[in-house]
């Protein structure tokens, strides 16, 4: 049982380190944020649509607590490589702490 607890602790430490390594800072304000598509991979969601459901639940929880979800969740779009030098616009969400 003790070995399992240590493995679990190590997993949590590794996930936390990976999470903090993904932080980005807004150039003008210095505000820290994460991109949802980066966290999607870290948290093991294979499909964006499934992770969007989780984010919507977080937005609802934020609003239920009386916070302005717009202060913590910002819909953005970005260009990604799709191969052969081509790019495509995809939706993402910037999220603050």
pLDDT band at 78 (very low <50, low <70, confident <90, very high): confident
User: Which residues form the domain of 42?
Assistant: 24-95
In this prediction, residue 1 has a pLDDT band, given cuts at 50, 70 and 90, of: low
Does 9 fall in a domain? no
pLDDT tens-place string over residues 58-70: 999 999 999 999 9
pTM of the predicted protein model = 0.78
Residue 17 forms part of a structural domain: no
In a domain, 2, yes or no: no
Q: Name the residue among 58, 36, 57, 32 with its Cα closest to residue 47.
A: 36
In a domain, 63, yes or no: yes
Share of the chain above pLDDT 70, in %: 99
Domain annotation covers residue 49: yes
22 and 34 Cβ atoms separated by less than 8 Å: yes
Q: Which of 93, 79, 89, 91 is CA-nearest to residue 33? A: 93
- 51 in any annotated domain: yes
For the chain, how many structural domains are there in total?
1
In a domain, 88, yes or no: yes
Q: What value does the mean pLDDT take over residues 42-54?
A: 94
């Amino acid at each position: 049982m003790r070995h399992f607890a240590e493995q679990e602790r190590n997993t949590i430490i590794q996930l936390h380190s990976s999470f903090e390594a993904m932080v980005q800072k807004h150039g003008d304000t210095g505000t820290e944020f994460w991109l949802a598509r980066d966290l999607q991979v870290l948290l093991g969601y294979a499909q964006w649509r499934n992770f969007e459901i989780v984010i919507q639940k977080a937005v609802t929880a934020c609003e239920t607590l009386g916070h302005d979800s717009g202060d913590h969740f910002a819909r953005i779009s970005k260009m990604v490589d799709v191969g052969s030098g081509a790019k495509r616009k995809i939706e993402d969400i910037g999220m603050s702490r």
